[in-house]
Structure 1
């Protein structure tokens, strides 16, 4: 029985097919990884929030307005001091006019 040693080498076509299959698998893996990374980056971009400087300023002004009492304490202190010193003068005509106006507005409704 004779053995042909020229045919002992494996078929080069089979080796090339296996190499091509490995290359295709690697390319597919790389593409899948790239797609997953792009999706993750897209999700991260969608979750970002930014506040404009105008919104920050508006928030500060709202907090300041909420903290304010609406009373001019400096004016109140001046009037108290003037009353204590006997320097506060009441305009009786103007006071009477405003009382009448207030009562008129109150009872007309």
Structure 2
């Protein structure tokens, strides 16, 4: 014996309840997404900067150089010698001093 229409058409309210529940879930998800976006927009962004060790050392060297006393008499004497073409550079001494400075900056031992 076959029974048809057991619920006498009561399946419609169940389908409507399922659709309503789905719509409510979608609305909640949309509301949560909007709230998160509003929080992200309201929260201040924090930028950060990080310097490499070499950059930090260079910054320290620059600070030391601005704090160092200047012998203005010697500077003027060198300027005059350069302008007159009398200043001579010893390339070997210059290369050694550059090498020493780089070793100090980058922490390399000779």
TM-score class, shorter-chain normalisation, is: 0.3 to 0.5
Q: TM-score, normalised by structure 1?
A: 0.41
Whose helix proportion is higher, 1 or 2?
1
Q: Select the structure of larger CA radius of gyration.
A: 1
TM-score, length basis structure 2: 0.41
